[in-house]
Structure 1
Amino acid sequence: MKERSIRWLMIVSSVFGLLWIGGLGLTLGYYFSDAAEAPPAIAVTAKAEPPKQTEAEEASFRLLALGDSLTRGTGDPEGKGYVGYVSDQLKTKSKQPVVADNYGINGQTSAQLAAQLQQIEMKSQVQAASAILVSIGGNDLFRGGETLDNLDPKNIQGIRDEYLRQLDTIFQQLRKDNAEATIFLIGLYNPFIALKDSEATSKIVRDWNYEAAEVAGRYPQTVVVPTFDLFQLKVQDYLARDLFHPNAAGYRLIGDRVASLIAW
């Protein structure tokens, strides 16, 4: 009788033990199943938004300068060029912080500027600009003085046609990347007006500026800034020692005119 009781007790204990183990297995199964379905903690981090610009950065007036040695400031002992004088004036007038980025390259032609605007960094700069200053064409036309040896109208026309084609490409790209910023194209002056053939060279420069203005007129918020008259009467007073680039006084004249046209 005693042996039978012990046997039944062992059977009952085994049954309860199996039930406990089964329950534990189900519990662990549900636990790990939920854990596997739950999104990992890193997913939350991945959804975080990138840091935004500070209020100061968003409020800045960004001046982007493109083009040749005129933009670079060659000939100015202080290296400021017209871009530096424009920036100085804007800083005295504006309550906004003014940031000037100068990408001028000595010797740059219109074709080279058109290629430069395809660079990712330049696209970013153009997109962020409040105003864009462009001086380009002097190297296309004068070619380091080479053109002075051949002032034949057909030769000049061929040079001008290629420049106008590139200028149109430049404006197209600038407007594609930034539809809001005002673009200022700096017109050409005649650095050779005091030399022989001044009548011919002056006509060439005036015609060049006129045709460039016609191209600029196809694009909204695009302004041609004349400079021919600034150098016309006293060109020697405003040229650097190379008798081609402006000196500090010449750059200041250009800078004053550009700054007066920039609206807030």
Structure 2
Amino acid sequence: MGEGSEMKERSIQWLMAVSAVSFLVWMGGLAWTLQHYFSDAAPAPIERAPAAQDEPYTPVVEDGSFRVLALGDSLTRGTGDPEGKGYIGYMLDRLKEKSEQEIVVENYGVNGQTSGQLASLLRERELQAQVKAADVIVISIGGNDLFRGGETLGHLDPVKIQEIESAYLRELDGILKQLREENAAARIFLIGLYNPFIELQETEITSRIVRDWNYKAAEVASRYPQTVLVPTFDLFQLKVQDYLARDLFHPNADGYRLIGERVASLITW
């Protein structure tokens, strides 16, 4: 091999090494940014002790209204929407166009909530009363379980991700089982995850993780009557940056509108 070929080979090896280091630095920076966002920008999850069975609570008055109970994380709260409506607000707008019946929405969304925290919240008698009275229950849960403030993206360890997924599916099954025990008739809509990182490096891996997560969550939902997973992955897939808030994680108003309108299209009287 000539001297020129050796120099060319060394140059290629050097560029590959630099690229690898740059990628690791980029992933570390992304993980730090997301962790910083979740710990500082988003309010800490509300810690609630399980309510005693004899603890006073306000019963739900049956007044003939159509009742929607919203559960879950920051998507249910509408974080990232300047209007503060979130997908629940846009869903409600569509439902009001479809029916003149009074619609009552109870929003129990908590920023940063995980599936385990939602399961604990469902032990409260006041929330159990809301579950019993609901005609429709919508849930967004799982994003904090999976992404963990960016920690998961910093490693993308298949074994760790499998552990996280398995734990989430167990919690999800328990949540749906409890909801069905409290209310056998309500329609339950579980909001699937989208991939906010689809235009960044490792998109093939992160998209595969999210798609697999949604598929298995849908399988759990299918065990219970009138319970479905509402897909959102496709809504953000082609133009994700057009539908994300400034934090590049939560939806913006347009993103929430897409989700809300899709959920509303599935709700009938």
TM class, shorter-length: 0.7 to 0.9
- 2:252 aligned partner: 247
Structure 2 counterpart of 1:148: 153
- The counterpart of 1:90, out of the listed 85, 90, 95, is 95
Q: Please show how residues 189-204 of structure 1 align to structure 2 within 5 Å.
A: 189-204=194-209
CA distance in 2, matches of 1:158, 1:223: 24
Q: Deviations over 1:135-190 (max 9, x none)?
A: 00000000111100111211110000000000000001100100000000000000
- 1:236 equivalent in alignment to 2:236: no
How many angstroms does 1:95 deviate by? 2.1
Q: Deviations over 1:65-113 (max 9, x none)?
A: 0000000000000110000111111112112100111100000000000
Residue 96 (structure 2) pairs with residue 103 (structure 1): no
Corresponding residue for residue 130 of structure 1: 135
Asked if 1:219 corresponds to 2:224, the answer is yes
Aligned length: 211
Counterpart CA distance in 2 for 1:90 and 1:233 is 27
TM-score by length of 1: 0.78
Structure 1 residues 124-144: Cα deviation after superposition (integer angstroms, max 9, x where no partner): 010010100000000000011
Written as runs of structure 1 = structure 2, the 5 A alignment for 1:1-264 is 57-264=62-269
Letter in 1 for 2:83: E
Distance 1:58 1:91 in 2: 17
User: C-alpha distance in 1, partners of 2:197/2:153?
Assistant: 9
State the 4+ residue runs in structure 1 displaced beyond 4 angstroms: none
Q: Larger relative CO (CA 8 A, sep 6+): 1 or 2?
A: 2
Q: Match for residue 23 of structure 1?
A: none
What is the aligned partner in structure 2 of residue 10 from structure 1? none
Identity %: 72
Q: Which has the larger radius of gyration?
A: 1
Counterpart amino acid of 1:65? A
Letter in 1 for 2:75: L
Distance 2:176 2:203 in 1: 31
Secondary structure at the residue paired with 1:258? helix
Given residue 220 of structure 2, which amino acid in structure 1 is its aligned partner? V
Return the alpha-carbon distance in structure 1 between the equivalents of residues 225 and 136 of structure 2: 13
SS of alignment partner, residue 58 of structure 1: coil
Report the AA paired with residue 161 of structure 2: I
Normalised by the size of structure 2, how large is the TM-score?
Answer: 0.77
> In angstroms, what is the RMSD of aligned CA positions?
1.3
Give the Cα–Cα distance (whole angstroms) in 2 for the partners of residues 144 and 191 of structure 1: 13
Provide the C-alpha distance between the structure 2 equivalents of 1:236 and 1:95, rounded to a whole number of angstroms. 36
Give the Cα separation in 2 of the matches to 1:118 and 1:130. 20
Q: CA deviation at 1:263?
A: 1.4
Query: Structure 2 unaligned runs (5+)?
Result: 1-59
Q: Residue type matched to 1:185 in 2?
A: L
Any gaps of 5 or more consecutive residues in structure 1?
Answer: 1-51
